């Protein structure tokens, strides 16, 4: 279900969107980040984590090789996953996403690599570059949960 179709004119606007979404995140939430290499999935995830950590300099390395990095933040843990190099279902099972979501929230880059094995509730962002190198089009869609109501409480 498509909820919003946004045009972000630069990286600061991507950060602003990330801050808004960070403020409505709960434990159990799963945010799926789709888009080509360089679209801005990691930039978005980094901004969400820095907001929730209340630390604008928090180091957020790409979990490309480890697949997952969990941040123990003040309110709840947030796991950052990058499934680009996911090999098979077994490797996905080892990540124990269900367990991560019992405790906290998850931000998942390359969710397509998980096949169908994703939680029933998610907020999805599809990020696309345009002609302007700093601009991005972001489409938000959601499955389950109360995402439309929660998004309505933001400045989006
Ligand atoms: P991905 O994780 O999707 O491969 P990254 O977040 O690692 O992409 O890289 C996105 C790159 O695009 C960064 O170098 C970032 O500075 C740049 N960029 C330029 N404009 C934007 C924007 N509006 N939103 C996000 N990133 C942007
Ligand atoms: Mg990335």
**Alpha carbons 63 and 69: distance in angstroms, whole number:** 6
**Alpha carbons 3 and 99: distance in angstroms, whole number:** 28
Give me the domains of the chain, ranges plus CATH numbers: 2-151 (3.40.50.300)
- Residue 24 reports pLDDT greater than 90: yes
Task: Name the residue with the closest Cα to ligand 1, atom 19.
Answer: 134
What is the per-residue pLDDT for 155?
82
Distance (Å) from CA 120 to ligand 2 centroid: 23
The better pLDDT of the pair 2, 1 is held by 2
**Alpha carbons 128 and 140: distance in angstroms, whole number:** 12
Spell out the residues 6+ positions from residue 133 whose beta carbon is closer than 8 angstroms to its own. none
Q: What are phi and psi of 120, to 5 degrees?
A: -75, -20
Mean of the per-residue pLDDT values for the chain?
96
ipTM of the shown complex: 0.99
Distance (Å) from CA 84 to ligand 1 centroid: 16
Region 140-151: what's the mean pLDDT?
94
Q: Quick: pLDDT tens for 77-104.
A: 999 999 999 999 999 999 999 999 999 9
Region 129-156: what's the mean pLDDT?
93
Q: Quick: pLDDT tens for 40-88.
A: 999 999 999 999 999 999 999 999 889 999 999 999 999 999 999 999 9
* 116 — pLDDT class (breaks 50, 70, 90): confident
What is the per-residue pLDDT for 145?
83
DSSP 121: -
DSSP 47: H
Distance (Å) from CA 19 to ligand 1 centroid: 16
Ligand 1 pocket: which of 6, 10, 11, 83 to mutate (most atoms <8 Å of CB)?
11
Closest to 25 (Cα-Cα) out of 49, 5, 8, 56 = 49
What is the per-residue pLDDT for 117?
86
């Amino acid at each position: 279900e498509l909820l919003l179709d946004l045009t972000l004119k630069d990286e600061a606007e991507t950060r602003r969107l990330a801050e808004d979404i960070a403020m409505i995140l709960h434990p159990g939430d799963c945010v799926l980040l789709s888009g080509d290499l360089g679209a801005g999935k990691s930039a978005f995830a980094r901004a969400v984590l820095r907001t929730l950590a209340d630390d604008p300099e928090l180091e957020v390395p790409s979990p490309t090789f480890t697949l997952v990095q969990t941040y123990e933040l003040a309110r709840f843990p947030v796991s950052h996953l990058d499934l680009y190099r996911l090999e098979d279902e077994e490797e996905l099972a080892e990540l124990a996403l269900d367990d991560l979501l019992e405790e906290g929230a998850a931000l998942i880059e390359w969710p397509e690599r998980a096949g169908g094995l994703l939680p029933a509730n998610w907020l999805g962002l599809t990020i696309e570059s345009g002609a302007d190198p700093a601009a991005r089009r972001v489409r938000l869609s959601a499955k389950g949960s109360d995402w439309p109501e929660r998004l309505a409480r933001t400045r989006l």
